[in-house]
Amino acid sequence: MITIKSHSTGESVTVDADTLEKADFTNKSLHRMDLRGEKMRGAFFLGANMQNADLSKADVREADFRGACLANAFFDGAQMNGANLKGTVMTGASFVGASMDGADMREAHIRVADFSLASLKDVKLTGATYDSDTRWPVKFSPQKHGAQLIEGKKATGIEKAK
């Protein structure tokens, strides 16, 4: 058994496993959890509330985040190659310097997010929406990968993830 505790909220999550790799966090609240540098390759975060969580420098390659709320979460320097981020809410999330090659971000809601210095080779963005305050790596075109720029009232709210 592994227990992860938030130092700021006092909440905790217990995983019935000896390792966090391939651990199941489906529909769990990981709000403000400190997961910096953790090895969670192939873990399941489907529908999880990960608002303000810190996964900087974590290994979440091939992890499944479908439908998770990643608002204001930190993934700076994280290994995210092959991660499934379909339908996630990424408002205010930071992916600075993250390795996201082959990640699936189709239908994601991306607002005021920061992908500066991230590696986004072969990323899938079809059906994803983003705003003009989102930062992308130099010479990266989200529209060429299928994302749509949204402005005005549509860009201000956090839409519910699918």
Min mean pLDDT across 16-20, 84-88, 122-126 is at: 16-20
Whether 102 and 80 have beta carbons less than 8 Å apart is answered as no
Whether 10 and 32 have beta carbons less than 8 Å apart is answered as no
Flag whether pLDDT at 160 surpasses 60: no
Flag whether pLDDT at 77 surpasses 60: yes
- Span 126-150, pLDDT tens digits: 999 999 999 999 999 999 999 999 9
DSSP characters over 2-51: EEEE-TTT--EEEESSSSSTT-B-TT-B-TT-B-TT-B-TT-B-TT-B-T
